[in-house]
Structure 1
Amino acid sequence: MRVFLIWIAAVLAVAAPARAFDTNATSAWVYDVQSGSVLMEKNSDTPIPPASMSKLMTLYMLFEALHEGRVTMETEFPVSVKAWKMGGSKMFVEPADRPTVEQLIKGIVINSGNDACVVVAEGLAGTEEAFARRMNERAKEIGLTQTHLANASGWPHPEHRMSTHDLGVLAAHIIREFPELYKYFAMTEFTYKNRVPANANNRNPLLHLGNGEWTADGLKTGHTEEAGYGLVGSAVQDGRRVIFVISGLPSDRARAEESERLVNWAFREFTMSTLVPAGENVVEAPVWLGTAGRVGLTTESGVNVLVPAGAQDQVRVEVVYESPIPAPIRQGETLGQLVVTIPGTPDTVTPLIATADIPEAGFLGRMKGAVMHLGQRAINAAGS
């Protein structure tokens, strides 16, 4: 096994030491999308009442139905008496209405309509109970391990639970899988048939904040007496996206203040560094008994890491592979790893792949290689 160390501290900018974030939320999870790094977590795997934040799963199911062609934006859904009678936040649909899928998306995202969620559930699965079963099955399939949903709206129920980690992972799925639909989360106003009062529009405080350095564009607030005030949020600065989830705040003002404070911290206290640009060779590795003596090892899409401010001189990069690498070698074949170690964070491990095909050498080539190998061993032995 050959291990190479690459010292990179000199290429990283110097900054003041990163400060830990002490959140007032009872549960929280903060994630940097580009690097795949969890920046902060607090009780993030504990199932909690998600309130309206769980509407993201209802939207995820509806977005999948759109992608699969089972519905279109113009598809109309009937409104049941059950949906019409829903309490709490509403889109204000009535039994005679036939809202379209696009209107229902806006009614859920912007108005947080419990009635709209029931309309979607019944339109896709027949009953809200059947829809909840489908959501739970799909939640497991996409990696939500601390999620059990009893309804489509987040209405209080003793078995309706999600962790802040699961809510954040779900948000990441939505942003990654449905970029053309994600735009709805940044909208602030929607009135169905002039029935929605102004105070029933998007309550996401980040959409009205920002400090000129970053822009918020989602996703969903939540509030019940049991859950307190929560938010699944996302913001972008210079192409870098942060997703966060907070829950258990005492008021909507506290939720707004904590959200802004957290986003400022996430962007200011960490630096994104490109260690290996996409397409750049990391090392030229020796090849055993091949038609070429060396093969380039590279990464599929480069290596970006998030470094806490003040930790630049503590970054350690290792290139690990078996040497020499026996032929034949296929282009794209994984032959090693690049391991980045930053104190206080999990190691970042990136596969190293071959840049070219290298067939096995013919008989004479193999004989020559064997002779050279034996000669090198003799030289090494004589020098020891």
Structure 2
Amino acid sequence: MKALIHSYLFAAFALLLPTWAVAVDLPTPEAPKIEAGGYLLLDFQSGNVLAQFNADERMEPASLTKIMTAYVVFNELSEGNLKLDDEVLVSEKAWRTSGSKMFIEVGKRIRVEDLIQGMIIQSGNDASVALAEHIAGSEMTFAELMNAQAKRLGMIHSHFTNAPGLPNPNHYSTPRDIAILATALIRDFPQYYRWYSQAEFTYNGIKQQNRNRLLSQDPSVDGVKTGFTDAAGYCLVSSAKRDGQRMIAVVMKTPNPTVRARDSLALLNYGFRFFETHVLFPAQKPLETLRIWKGSMKALPVGSATDVAVTIPRGRYDQLTTRLEKPAELFAPVAAGEAIGEIVIALGEQDIKRIPLVALQEVTLGGIWRRMIDTVLRWFQ
């Protein structure tokens, strides 16, 4: 009885303590079980991968291909080579393209903006081919543009042969590459990303719903694209933003539309529940000033060329530390943006991220007198 009373007293006392006095650093649970051939979850801002399975395995992307088709189209718009009001003449090939359709008609002229919505919201294979032919002259030439962009973005395990994502032995990608692509599309073309959250689109009197079920199930979801063929299974790239944090999930080769939606949402919820993202310092912010010898200047500010963000398990922000790994001596000339070391971010005792430490301005070679003075000064170091 006395022991029981003591246990009650201890429990009551613990309730009166501040939360920091009884907090326990619990491990982050494993990601939920996903019924997919491959998947990947990452934080958009930091790029940190939070869960993955078969992320580098070659798979058929089906209509996820249209994310790359859209990326090329958006790039043409941004460079001024294409306008939303431009009219596209529909070829017989585009009209006859099999699979999901926007229901365009051969010989008709259709605005680029309508075709984009038909491709994104209605997943129109016909719209994809019409845009490809208008931009590059032929779908084959357009595929070369797709592969060039894939290479530039670092999608090293992808190759595209057509604009809609129709099956072809040489048409493939991976969950990781698709996540890289989705990240780039949201980052590079925010002005066009809005179409991915559009619930429906009507063309030629035919209204079609966006195939992404998550748009109606979770208000934080605003994209991105579904895909399906018999060989590819049911695929989905989803993205959601909650309290300023954005997650991107890719699931490929799921057995049915219900599973791909359910498991995608499970991944997104896991990321938001158990991880937090912090921008440690912005791009071009001087983190330190280094002595540089024999240059037109004596001091060189160094930092990161891009924003430095990191995603960590919730509640562990106070365990983050950073350090600069830099050369013992630094000599001119140094170009602006030149990497001269690394920024290392650690969580507790473990290094979790390395970012190039770059020169934030150019330092040219100093004159003869400056070089002579610095030579003498170094003797006395």
TM bracket (short chain)? 0.7 to 0.9
Check the 8 A contact 2:197/2:222 in 1, yes or no.
yes
Partner residue in 2 for 1:273: 278
1:210 matched to 2:221:
no
Which deviates more, 345-354 or 256-265? Answer: 345-354
Q: Measure, in 1, the Cα distance between the counterparts of 2:363 and 2:341.
A: 16
Greater alpha carbon shift after TM alignment, 334-343 vs 98-107: 334-343
Output the CA distance in 2 between the equivalents of 1:206 and 1:177. Answer: 23
CA contact (8 A) 2:323 2:345 kept: yes
- 1:290 deviates by 8.7
Question: Aligned in 2, Cα 1:297/1:345: closer, same or farther, shift over 3 Å?
Answer: closer
SS in 2 for 1:160: coil
- Match of residue 227 from structure 1: 232
Contact between 1:168 and 1:245, CA under 8 Å: does it hold in 2?
yes
Which of 86, 111, 118 is residue 75 of structure 1 equivalent to? Answer: 86
User: How far did residue 330 of structure 1 move?
Assistant: 8.1
1:334-365 C-alpha deviation (Å, 9 max, x unpaired): 55432113478753224154689797886996
TM normalised by structure 1 equals 0.79
Distance 2:293 2:113 in 1: 60
RMSD of the alignment, in Å? 3.5
CA distance in 1, matches of 2:305, 2:132: 40
Residue 67 of structure 2, aligned match among 56, 70, 86: 56
What are the within-5 Å matches in structure 2 for residues 288-367 of structure 1?
297-300=302-305, 303-309=308-314, 312=317, 315-323=320-328, 325=330, 335-342=340-347, 346-351=352-357, 353=359
Unaligned 5+ residue runs, structure 2? Answer: 1-19
Of 317-326 and 163-172, more deviation after overlay is shown by: 317-326
Query: Counterpart of 1:32?
Result: 43
Corresponding residue pairs, total: 356
Tell me which amino acid in the other structure corresponds to 2:67: L
Match of 1:186 among 167, 175, 197: 197
d(CA) in 2 for partners of 1:69, 1:147: 27
Structure 1 residues without counterparts, runs of 5 or longer: 1-9, 374-384
Alpha-carbon spacing, 1:365–1:258, altered in 2? closer, same or farther (3 Å): same
Match of 1:142 in 2: 153
Scaled by the length of structure 2, the TM-score of the pair is: 0.79
Give the percent of matched residue pairs that are identical in Structure 1 and Structure 2.
36
8 Å contact kept, 1:340–1:347: yes
1:306 corresponds to which letter in structure 2?
T
Q: Distance in 2 between matches of 1:98 and 1:143?
A: 36
The one-letter amino acid paired with 1:18 is T
Q: Secondary structure at the match of 2:312?
A: strand
The CA distance in 2 between the partners of 1:95 and 1:293, in whole Å, is: 68
Aligned residue for 1:124, secondary structure, equals helix
